[in-house]
Amino acid sequence: MLISSVEELIFEVIAIFILIVFFDYTFGWLERKTIAKAQLRHGPTYLGKFGVLQNLADILKLLTKENVMPKNADKLVFSTVPLLLLALFIFLVYLLPFPNSLGIDISIGLLAIFVLLSFSPLLIFLTGAASGNKFSLISAQRSVIMSLAYEVPLILSVAAVALYTGSFNIANIVYSQARIPFIVLMPIGFFVFFIAMLAELERPPFDLREADSELIAGWLVDVGAPYYAMALFVDYTRMFLGSLLISLLFLGGWLGPYLPGLIWLLIKVFVVAFVIVIIRATTVRMRLDRLMRFGWFWLLPLAVLNIIFTFIFFVK
Amino acid sequence: MLTKINVGPIHPSTHGVLRLVVTLDGDTIVDVEPHIGFLHRGVEKLAENRMYMQSESYMEKIDYVAPMAYSDLYVAAVEEAMGIHPNERAKYVRLILLEFQRIASHLLWLGTFCNDLGLMFTMFTWTLKDRDLILNLLQDVTGSRMFYVNMRLGGVSIDLPPNFEEHANKLLDYLEKRFKEYEIFLEKNPVFIERTKGVGVLKKEDAIALGVTGPVLRASGVNFDVRRDYAYYVYEKLHFIPQIQTKGDSFARYKVRMQEMKESIKLIRSALKLMPEGDALGMPIKLISPPVKEKEVIVRRELPRGEGMIFMVTDKQRPYRLSLRTPAFINLSALKYIAKGASYADLFSILGSLDLVMADVDK
Amino acid sequence: MLKPIIETIKALGKERFTTTFPEEKERQPDNYRGLHRLDVETCISCGACERICPNRTITMVDANTSKGRRKLPQIDIERCLFCGLCEEVCPTRALTLTKNYEYTEFDRRHFIRRPEELR
């Protein structure tokens, strides 16, 4: 996992990029089909066998349309900040270790990821506020408040994992789950991390920003068509990041019998993504002040309790 | 600082074309002003220029979710003006079809209510599947799925087919099972309970003073139902019980409609058992109507949305003046008083629980 | 929170309820009210259908039949409500409603169907 020459660097960059694109495309198809099956319909069936080429057709259609910008928008910010957001999330995937000598191995990997992840509310607020539209401003404010409340339990539950392992290196965390994965050792921590991750990814029940039936898709109301395609890409890359973090930190990463490591990792990532999609099909949206109350009064004490338990029982 | 937001005519949650101008103070609603009239088609004026049985089709298009209820309201007014009474079997047949229509209307309401809260169509497709099975049954009886035009003077246009009873009983068993599953799906979901309990409370005195009707009134604790107090067809023989809840919030309005659906299933079962043999066909359409005996007629019925009233001044071949009081119009005017002091996201929960259909408001 | 999720997963295994339209079509009952069909030989040109229609859909126009030149009903599909009153009032049952519900056109003028086309 150490970079020794320029060819290896280029090979790793391209390999992980292909992995991201593969996951985004497959997850897009999986989400549409699963939600359709849960709603007793078919989903895309026309293009390709089982509708596999449908997302490709949608993205090609969106990229060929004209880019319209509203008059009140701040042109510089509005056209560059979404690209920065995409670059941020792709960069964060590169900081994670992958098996079979792909990926970068850093000794402070965990800290680096969560420090950079907290840039995302700032960029999201900038895209919403630069639209010059009342609805986008309201949804940008809501998403910043929500991220503020849910980042603290997120980091606290990860701190319990780091406390148990004794290092910030994600590869070490995965190897120390060789006997028991952390979901069994600290179930409260897993619960807190899962729900706080749903709030960071802005998936239902926490999808205030794109509240389809209240503000008609919030900040995406008047972006141009190419930016809409990029917003989808950002959404799915964020899902990939979230599911990877859950499976690396709590489910045992790439360890498992019989199959090569990369296949196990992908299986775990897809199982987590499937559970997130089923939750989307089942719940209604939460109201903002209830959400705040849930974050501060329920998740935060549970996360602190988790750290205390871990310290007492497992750290000598 | 007060801001005004325009929840415009084209919006995914307003059940038609309704414009609301909402005045907000931060996140709290101070005032709601509805602007209506986008769907006005002049039904009352159209009926003045057509013969009696020609405007039955226009009356059905007032409410596209439960058309048979309005058609029954109009034809009952014409029958009373002419002095024609339906026979015993015709009353039973009309009651069975109307109660099926009520279940279908409440199923559609359940789907769109969950849609407004943010569920994104899961509950909507499930309840539309059940409504589709009911519409298939009605299609076998009347020939059409949406605008039936099957009420005639003194009965219905096509009688029930011979195997109707067993199909209906099978469908009712399936629906009972589904209602249990819907209750588990919604009431064991803590997010749904948080979104609807304690939201939009309407007290008993306010409900009577504002004049609301239907499930909205019964959810605030008032014991009034047209099917028991001004009974028509055969509701007295079938021992009908109105369903009451006392809290007056969105959850109570949801619960009243679920209970009403189960009560309708019981009514249909007992009506199918007690129905006598005979002929339920009414008079076929002719170019000249029978003579009219009364000058002014008032008829009330319990529509799925509330209480509907029709006041008709008659002439020889056509109504001289027709005046309709539709329930959704009155329920919408109560929105301003219910929503004062609530937060912005609660507005859609309240609006969904009032069960509005804009064609009903605008006629 | 767990029971609703189990309900959703149960729904994944149920049979699909939507049909893929041009390949599969649903069945219809016999008294379905679709497009009109005129039996030219039986029509006696009484004009009852024109008088009973609420929306002034039917007009009687001149047409050539085997019994000479007579007036037959012409139907404007854009105005029709498909209420079925014209079928019920026709004394000889010459005008009936069939099960056809697919009648799309590219030009609006083709929606006025002359009696010869109502076959």
pLDDT digits (tens, 9 = 90+) for C32-87: 888 888 888 888 888 888 889 988 889 998 888 888 888 888 888 888 888 888 88
Structure tokens at B313: 């001044």
Chains that touch C (3 or more CB pairs under 8 A): A, B
* Partner A contacted by C5 (CB < 8 A): yes
Mean pLDDT of A105-131: 81
Is residue A309 within 8 Å of A163, Cβ to Cβ? no
From A280, which residue of chain C is nearest by alpha-carbon distance? Answer: C5
From A212, which residue of chain B is nearest by alpha-carbon distance? Answer: B118
DSSP state letter for A48: S
Phi-psi region of A70 (alpha: psi -120 to 50; beta: other; left: phi over 0): beta
Flag whether pLDDT at C116 surpasses 50: yes
Mean pLDDT of chain A: 81
Q: Is the pLDDT higher at C91 or at A108?
A: C91
Q: Is the pLDDT higher at A92 or at A315?
A: A92
Cβ neighbours of C45 (radius 10 Å): 13
Amino acid at B157: S
For residue B130, give the nearest of A40, A233, C52 by alpha carbon: A40
CA distance C7 to chain A (A): 9
C27 burial via Cβ count (<10 Å: 0-12, 13-18, 19+): exposed
User: What was the ipTM of the complex prediction?
Assistant: 0.87
Mean pLDDT of B303-310: 91
Instruction: Inspect the interface and report whether the beta carbons of A37 and C18 lie closer than 8 Å.
Output: no
Mean pLDDT of chain B: 89
pLDDT digits (tens, 9 = 90+) for B253-302: 999 999 999 999 999 999 999 888 888 888 888 888 888 988 999 999 99
Is residue A34 within 8 Å of A57, Cβ to Cβ? no
Q: Which of C5, C7, C8 to mutate to test the interface with A (most CBs of A within 10 A)?
A: C8
The CA–CA distances, whole Å, from A155 to A150, A288, A296, A309 equal 9, 22, 14, 16
Cα angle for residues B187, B190, B195 (degrees, 5° grid): 90
Instruction: Inspect the interface and report whether the beta carbons of A38 and C8 lie closer than 8 Å.
Output: yes
Q: Which of A213, A280, A282 to mutate to test the interface with B (most CBs of B within 10 A)?
A: A213
* Partner A contacted by B182 (CB < 8 A): no
- Confidence at residue A165, expressed as pLDDT on a 0 to 100 scale: 81
- Confidence at residue A227, expressed as pLDDT on a 0 to 100 scale: 81
From C12, which residue of chain B is nearest by alpha-carbon distance? Answer: B122
d(CA A262, CA C35): 61
Structure tokens at A262: 């990369």
CA distance A266 to chain B (A): 28
Tally of domains in chain A: 1
Contacts of B114 in chain A (CB under 8 A): 284
Which residues are bridge partners to C59 per DSSP?
A: C74
Residues 45-84 of chain B whose Cβ lies under 8 A from any Cβ of chain C: 50, 53-58
Mean pLDDT of A246-268: 81
d(CA B287, CA B186): 52
Amino acid at B252: A
Mean pLDDT of chain C: 85
pLDDT digits (tens, 9 = 90+) for A137-157: 777 777 788 888 888 888 888
Give the rounded percent of residues in chain A with a pLDDT score beyond 70.
91
Flag whether pLDDT at A102 surpasses 70: no
- Confidence at residue A213, expressed as pLDDT on a 0 to 100 scale: 47
Flag whether pLDDT at B61 surpasses 80: yes
From C87, which residue of chain B is nearest by alpha-carbon distance? Answer: B285
For residue B1, the number of C-alpha atoms closer than 13 Å in the C-beta half-sphere is: 1
Instruction: Inspect the interface and report whether the beta carbons of A40 and C11 lie closer than 8 Å.
Output: yes
Q: Return the CATH number of the domain spanning residue range B42-327.
A: 1.10.645.10
* Partner A contacted by B119 (CB < 8 A): yes
Give the rounded percent of residues in chain B with a pLDDT score beyond 90.
36
Helix, strand, coil shares of chain A as percentages rounded to 5? 70, 0, 30
Contacts of B140 in chain C (CB under 8 A): 29
Q: Which of B185, B289, B318 to mutate to test the interface with C (most CBs of C within 10 A)?
A: B185
Contacts of B188 in chain C (CB under 8 A): 1, 3-4
CA distance B125 to chain A (A): 6
Flag whether pLDDT at A107 surpasses 80: no
From C47, which residue of chain B is nearest by alpha-carbon distance? Answer: B287
Is residue A252 within 8 Å of A174, Cβ to Cβ? yes
* Partner A contacted by B113 (CB < 8 A): no
For residue B186, give the nearest of B264, B114, B124 by alpha carbon: B114
Full-model pTM = 0.88
- Domain range C44-119, CATH architecture: 2-Layer Sandwich (3.30)
Q: Which residues contact A243 (CB under 8 A, 6 or more apart)?
A: A269, A272, A273, A276
Amino acid at B76: A
pLDDT digits (tens, 9 = 90+) for B225-243: 888 888 888 888 888 888 8
Instruction: Inspect the interface and report whether the beta carbons of A216 and B126 lie closer than 8 Å.
Output: no
Flag whether pLDDT at A228 surpasses 50: yes
Is residue A289 within 8 Å of B343, Cβ to Cβ? yes
Amino acid at A21: V
B105 burial via Cβ count (<10 Å: 0-12, 13-18, 19+): buried
Chains that touch B (3 or more CB pairs under 8 A): A, C
Structural domain harbouring A286: 68-314
